[in-house]
């Protein structure tokens, strides 16, 4: 009996020592204390390593030249330096590319370095057109950031007039104005009057103006009407989506900068990069997934080893389920999901994030026809099909885009060409193409449609 009691006591002590705590009835030996301290210290070091890794993947921690954008960096910095130095430029620096390709980050870093150099004096005016209530509100926004003499009133016409006078007669000693218009796509109107006014300042001989336009659409210059396009020349810088090797390099360099390389297994980083590159190539998505993987690993501190594939899978599931937009998509009816599928296939085919409603509607009709064909093969008669959800109405596309716009899943704007009828559509705020694809695949039951979404060649 006594031997059994002593055995239980020893087992209890061993169990408590494993937890890092001394027994309540017996004082641990020096060896046991050392083991406890070493184990606690190792756990603290492990936690600190993962904390550094999480910090490395914060979106705005990077400073200096962006990796994998050396050619774009040289073009942008050379143009800005020369344009500001010579007192303005009649060329517009047009920076385009899909979201998450580093456009704004690179430009802001280039402007920061230009300001730090202090060789020339300039005033930065930064406008994000997506945050404006209407395209014409850009004039009041620009006027509020400049030291101009206001003529009174707050209307758009007054602000536009004040700006015209400001840029028409500036002295040689006046600082250059560096006008950076982000999301310039949102300033497009059917007659392109807002863009005409802005680009008209570039042509003024005494404007002392350097204009930079950032766009998610690569072909905006080609869609400008002649009277707008004739006002300026373009220096074009196109940002391609990051590929797998570039994403891997960026993630590794961030970990190295925070002394957290050992926090991730190499295969986990490569898998994350491969999955993001196969979708949007958006670096923000890769950073978000990696941070989620670190958080998943921190919930399992009793485990050994770095962040692994299982933690990456957990992070991707958590991000998908946490998105209100994704939840809304999975709850949509068949027609709305087919319309979103058509939208995605057209954005991939045209390689741009804003596509004509007309082409979406045509693709939508083909998807519906595909569903009808499958229904007929399953034993439905044409009459039965017409009585089901597959029936097609001429106003389907207009109805669906209004519904999806009301749910903030899509946005729409007027055509950029005066002689082109219809509307253009883009993804709504809070939804990226990766989440859209994941939500569509999760809710899709038709294998043929799934193949279209997954297969880039056939989907095009």
Q: What is the CA radius of gyration of the chain?
A: 29
Angle subtended by helix axes 447-454 and 334-350, to nearest 10: 30
pLDDT band with cut points at 50, 70 and 90 for residue 37: low
pLDDT surpasses 80 at 110: yes
- The answer to whether 98 touches 215, Cβ cutoff 8 Å, is no
pLDDT band with cut points at 50, 70 and 90 for residue 381: very low
pLDDT value at residue 181? 96
pLDDT-wise least confident of 10-24, 65-79, 311-325, 432-446: 10-24
The alpha carbon of 39 is separated from its chain's Cα centroid by a whole number of angstroms, namely: 41
Maximum average pLDDT range among 4-13, 66-75, 394-403:
66-75
- Give all strands of the β-sheet with 410-414 in edge-to-edge order: 354-356, 423-427, 410-414
Backbone conformation region of residue 192, classed left if phi is above 0, alpha if psi is from -120 to 50, else beta: left
- CA atoms of 86 and 107, how far apart (whole Å): 19
pLDDT surpasses 90 at 294: yes
DSSP 8-class letter at 187: G
Local structure of 155: helix, strand or coil: coil
Closest CA to 240 of 407, 45, 102: 102
Q: Give me the phi and psi of 237, to 5 degrees please.
A: -130, 110
pLDDT tens, 252-270?
999 999 999 999 999 999 9
pLDDT band with cut points at 50, 70 and 90 for residue 377: very low
Q: Which CATH number fits domain 326-376+386-454: 1.10.10.10, 1.25.40.10, 1.10.8.100, 3.40.309.10?
A: 1.10.10.10
Strand partners, 212: 93, 180
pLDDT surpasses 80 at 375: no
pLDDT surpasses 50 at 391: no
pLDDT surpasses 50 at 383: no
pLDDT tens, 339-360?
999 999 998 888 777 888 888 9
pLDDT value at residue 311? 93
pLDDT-wise least confident of 60-74, 155-169, 191-205, 249-263: 60-74
The domain ranges of the chain are 70-239, 244-321, 326-376+386-454
Closest CA to 388 of 374, 375, 370, 401: 375
pLDDT value at residue 445? 83
pLDDT tens, 10-35?
555 555 445 455 555 566 676 655 66
pLDDT value at residue 387? 37
Q: What percent of the chain has pLDDT over 70?
A: 80
pLDDT value at residue 331? 85
pLDDT surpasses 70 at 415: no
DSSP 8-class letter at 192: -
Q: What is the mean pLDDT of residues 448-458?
A: 72
pLDDT value at residue 422? 62
pLDDT tens, 141-171?
999 999 887 666 668 888 899 999 999 988 8
Mean pLDDT of all residues belonging to the chain = 81
Q: What is the mean pLDDT of residues 130-145?
A: 91
pLDDT value at residue 295? 92
For residue 157, the tally of other CB atoms under 10 A from its CB is 10
- CA atoms of 400 and 143, how far apart (whole Å): 39
Maximum average pLDDT range among 44-48, 93-97, 149-153:
93-97
Closest CA to 370 of 342, 411, 403: 342
Q: Which residue has the higher pLDDT, 87 or 225?
A: 87
Q: Which residue has the higher pLDDT, 401 or 42?
A: 401
Q: Which residue has the higher pLDDT, 23 or 174?
A: 174
Q: What is the DSSP string of 362-392?
A: HHHHHHHHHHHHHHHHTT--HHHHHTSTT--
Q: What is the mean pLDDT of residues 312-326?
A: 82
pLDDT surpasses 70 at 36: no
Q: What is the mean pLDDT of residues 47-56?
A: 89
Maximum average pLDDT range among 116-130, 239-253, 425-439:
239-253
pLDDT surpasses 70 at 385: no
Q: How far is CA 440 from CA 31, 327, 344, 363, 452, in A?
A: 58, 11, 10, 16, 11
Q: How far is CA 156 from CA 137, 190, 194, in A?
A: 7, 18, 11
- CA atoms of 133 and 135, how far apart (whole Å): 7
pLDDT value at residue 211? 95
pLDDT value at residue 388? 40
- The answer to whether 106 touches 76, Cβ cutoff 8 Å, is yes
pLDDT surpasses 60 at 8: no
For residue 415, the tally of other CB atoms under 10 A from its CB is 17
CATH number corresponding to 244-321: 1.10.8
Q: What is the mean pLDDT of residues 116-131?
A: 89
Q: Give me the phi and psi of 305, to 5 degrees please.
A: 95, 170
pLDDT value at residue 189? 80
Q: What percent of the chain has pLDDT over 90?
A: 36
CATH number corresponding to 70-239: 3.40.50.300
- The answer to whether 422 touches 356, Cβ cutoff 8 Å, is yes
Which tokens go with 10?
């020893």
pLDDT surpasses 50 at 182: yes
Q: Give me the phi and psi of 126, to 5 degrees please.
A: -115, 120
pTM of the predicted model as reported, rounded to 2 decimal places: 0.73
**Torsion angle in degrees (nearest 10) through CA of 326, 332, 335, 337:** 10
pLDDT surpasses 80 at 58: yes
- CA atoms of 97 and 241, how far apart (whole Å): 7
Q: What is the DSSP string of 292-340?
A: HHHHHHHTTTTS-SSB-HHHHHHHHHHHHHH-HHHHHHHTS-HHHHHHH
């Amino acid at each position: 009996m006594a031997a059994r009691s002593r055995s239980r006591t020893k087992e209890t002590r061993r169990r408590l020592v494993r937890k890092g705590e001394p027994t309540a009835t017996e004082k641990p030996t020096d060896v046991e204390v050392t083991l406890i301290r070493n184990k606690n210290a190792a756990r603290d070091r492990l936690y600190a390593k993962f904390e550094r890794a999480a910090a490395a993947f914060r979106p705005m921690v990077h400073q200096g030249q962006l990796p994998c954008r050396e050619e774009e960096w040289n073009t942008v910095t050379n143009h800005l330096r020369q344009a500001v130095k010579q007192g303005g430029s009649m060329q517009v620096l047009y920076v385009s590319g899909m979201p998450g390709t580093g456009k704004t980050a690179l430009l802001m870093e280039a402007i920061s370095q230009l300001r730090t150099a202090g060789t020339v004096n300039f005033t930065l005016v930064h406008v994000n057109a997506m945050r404006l209530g209407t395209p014409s509100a850009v004039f009041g926004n620009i006027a509020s950031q400049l030291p101009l003499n206001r003529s009174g009133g707050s209307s758009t016409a007054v602000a536009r007039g004040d700006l015209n006078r400001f840029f028409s007669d500036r002295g040689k000693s006046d600082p250059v104005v560096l006008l950076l218009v982000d999301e310039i796509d949102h300033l497009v109107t059917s007659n392109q009057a807002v863009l005409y006014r802005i680009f008209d300042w570039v042509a003024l001989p005494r404007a002392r103006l350097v204009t930079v336009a950032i766009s998610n659409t690569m072909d905006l210059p080609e869609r400008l009407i002649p009277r707008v396009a004739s006002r300026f020349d373009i220096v074009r810088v196109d940002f391609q989506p990051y590929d797998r090797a570039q994403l891997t390099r960026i993630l590794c360099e961030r970990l190295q900068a925070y002394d957290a390389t050992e926090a991730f297994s190499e295969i986990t980083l490569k898998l994350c990069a491969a999955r993001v590159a196969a979708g949007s190539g958006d670096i923000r998505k890769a950073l978000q997934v990696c941070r989620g993987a670190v958080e998943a690993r921190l919930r399992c501190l009793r485990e050994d080893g770095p962040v692994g594939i299982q933690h990456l899978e957990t992070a991707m599931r958590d991000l998908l389920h946490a998105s209100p937009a994704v939840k809304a998509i999975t709850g949509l009816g068949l027609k709305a999901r087919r319309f979103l599928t058509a939208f995605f296939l057209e954005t991939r085919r045209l390689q741009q994030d804003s596509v004509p409603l007309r082409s979406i509607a045509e693709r939508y009709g083909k998807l519906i026809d595909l569903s009808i064909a499958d229904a007929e093969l399953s034993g439905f008669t044409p009459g039965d099909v017409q009585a089901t959800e597959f029936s097609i109405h001429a106003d389907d596309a207009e109805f669906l885009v209004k519904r999806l716009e009301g749910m903030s899943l899509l946005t729409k704007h007027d055509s950029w060409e005066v002689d082109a009828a219809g509307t253009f559509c883009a993804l709504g705020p809070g939804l990226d193409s990766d989440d859209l694809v994941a939500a569509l695949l999760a809710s899709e039951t038709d294998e043929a449609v799934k193949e279209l979404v997954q297969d880039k060649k056939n989907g095009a």
